[in-house]
């Protein structure tokens, strides 16, 4: 039972690390998307004036 508990703890630690990396990647993607939207808005304003 103790060995199984140790294995589960290791697995949960690995999942938490993966979740952290995915969260960081998601944050970078959202920032990039926001930057792109800002650029498109600027270009749209430039074309319409």
pLDDT averaged over the chain? 94
Residue 2, classed as helix, strand or coil, is helix
pLDDT of 18 reads 97
- The residue range of the domain holding 38 is 1-49
17 phi/psi in degrees, rounded to 5: -65, -45
| Number of domains within the chain | 1
pLDDT band at 48; cut points 50, 70, 90 = confident
Neighbours of 44 (CB within 10 A): 10
Note the pTM of the prediction, 2 decimals: 0.65
Close Cβ partners of 14 (under 8 Å, ≥ 6 residues apart): none
Kindly give the residue spans of alpha helices, DSSP state H, lying in the chain. 2-48
pLDDT of 49 reads 75
Neighbours of 5 (CB within 10 A): 9
Distance CA 18, CA 16 (A): 5
């Amino acid at each position: 039972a103790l060995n199984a508990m140790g294995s589960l703890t290791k697995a949960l630690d690995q999942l938490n690390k993966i979740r952290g990396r995915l969260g960081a990647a998601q944050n970078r993607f959202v920032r990039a998307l926001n930057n792109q939207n800002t650029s498109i808005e600027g270009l749209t304003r430039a074309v319409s004036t």
